[in-house]
Amino acid sequence: MLLPASLVGISAFGLKTFFFISGFLITRLLLAEYRYSNNVSLSAFYGRRFIRLYPVLITYVAVVWLVAIVRQQHVDIIDPLAVFFYFVNYLAVFTDGGGHTLPIGLFWSLSVEEHFYLVAPIVIFFLRGDARKILIFAVAVCVFSLFLRLLYVELWPGIEGTLHIYWRSETRFDSIAYGMILACCADIKAGRRLIQFISGRFAVAAAAFVLLGSFAIRDDYFQMTWRFSIQGLALIPLISAVIFARTIPIANYLLNSTLMVWIGVLSYSLYVWHGGVMYLFSSFIHSLPTYSQSSAELIMTIALALCSYFIVERPANKVRSRFKRLSASRHSSVVVEQST
């Protein structure tokens, strides 16, 4: 969401965690693909990505655009273009978060993610799935993003009081790259020993303390520069403890509950549609008592996400699964040919 600078902190931590997990999971999958087939199929990766993202995006834009036409509201063509070509975040930068004629502001984070995945799989491909070299790349990304944040604050005084650094891809890539670091460590013998150490109670407690401390420092300079790096580093032992150990049993229990599994299944549709609920149903929601408006918005978001999942996303996922199996069979054929 497009948040005022004063609210960027705890409210944005969920997104940072999502970025981290995204980097971890996709790197793990690509490393596993290379181990299995001695190759990373870029065409298969981007094909799966297209099928995963675009059906719901197209449906969302079509619905809100149709509603705008019915309401006789002007729609700037740059809005749907920004969604489909992933430059909503830079549109937000150059319009200072305003100027959208459609409810697309929340897609800035998807733009950051897709910009990262235009580069990372190619790097993994050229580095031949070497986890050590990929780890160096991920660390370099983290250092470079921090450098750019510090540089931008020096070049453009006052930028730390805006959300420009928060939105820009090059200053947020490290939020995903920290997840890559954990994935690479899990693929290296020395890295696995490190994971075993940082998943212990002392390391997890220290990481939690550092994380909480980062929320307490409300200075704009810190929030828009060092905070991203400190929280990214703190997430490594915390996520390790959940994924590779049972240091926090309650976290494992909650994350494996039926409710959380369903939230995971619906997560993409929830992400896409929650930004449009108020636009689509603002008159009805505002007609309700103030105390019930947030609940109504949540219920409508879940309802739209369920419709989106069963009508659009699940059929698309079946196509994606067939595409994945086809790609896997092609890889197997290549491996057999190379070994004979």
How would DSSP label each residue in 71-104?
A: TT----THHHHHHHTT-HHHHHHHTTT---SSS-
CB 168 within 8 A of CB 228: no
In this structure, the answer to whether residues 204 and 264 fall within a common structural domain is: no
CA atoms within 13 A on the CB side of 339: 8
In this structure, the answer to whether residues 224 and 273 fall within a common structural domain is: no
Residue 1: pLDDT band (50, 70, 90) is very low
pLDDT (tens digit, 9 = 90+) per residue, 108-153? 999 999 999 999 999 999 999 999 999 999 999 999 999 999 999 9
The C-alpha angle 24, 104, 267, rounded to 5 degrees, equals 40
pLDDT (tens digit, 9 = 90+) per residue, 45-95? 999 999 999 999 999 999 999 999 999 999 999 999 999 999 999 999 999
The number of distinct structural domains making up the chain is 2
What's the CA gap between 337 and 332, in Å, rounded? 9
Residue of higher predicted confidence among 33 and 254: 33
Residue 19: pLDDT band (50, 70, 90) is very high
In this structure, the answer to whether residues 215 and 236 fall within a common structural domain is: yes
In this structure, the answer to whether residues 263 and 243 fall within a common structural domain is: no
In this structure, the answer to whether residues 194 and 274 fall within a common structural domain is: no
Write out 131-166 in H/E/C secondary structure.
Answer: HHHHHHHHHHHHHHHHHHHHHHHHHCCCHHHCCHHH
| SS percent in the chain: helix, strand, coil, step 5 | 80, 0, 20
Q: What is the mean pLDDT of residues 187-216?
A: 96
Residue 334 has pLDDT above 60, yes or no: no
What is the span of the domain harbouring residue 311?
257-325
For residue 232, what are the CA distances in angstroms to 90, 130, 146? Answer: 23, 23, 11
Q: Which of 54, 100, 55, 97 is nearest to 77 (CA)?
A: 100
pTM of the model: 0.91
- Can you read off the two tokens belonging to residue 153? 């604050």
- 331 within domain boundaries: no
In this structure, the answer to whether residues 190 and 305 fall within a common structural domain is: no
**Residue ending a domain, choose from 213, 247, 281:** 247
In this structure, the answer to whether residues 209 and 278 fall within a common structural domain is: no
Residue 31 has pLDDT above 60, yes or no: yes
- Can you read off the two tokens belonging to residue 320? 């994606």
Of 7-11, 122-126, 195-199, the range with the lowest mean pLDDT is: 7-11
Contacts of residue 332, defined as CB under 8 A and 6 or more positions apart, other chains included, come to: 37
Residue carrying structure tokens 């905070």: 227
- 42 within domain boundaries: yes
In this structure, the answer to whether residues 177 and 281 fall within a common structural domain is: no
Of 13-17, 295-299, 309-313, the range with the lowest mean pLDDT is: 13-17
Residue 99 has pLDDT above 80, yes or no: no
What's the CA gap between 4 and 38, in Å, rounded? 46
**Residue ending a domain, choose from 195, 221, 247:** 247
Q: Which of 121, 261, 252 is nearest to 180 (CA)?
A: 121
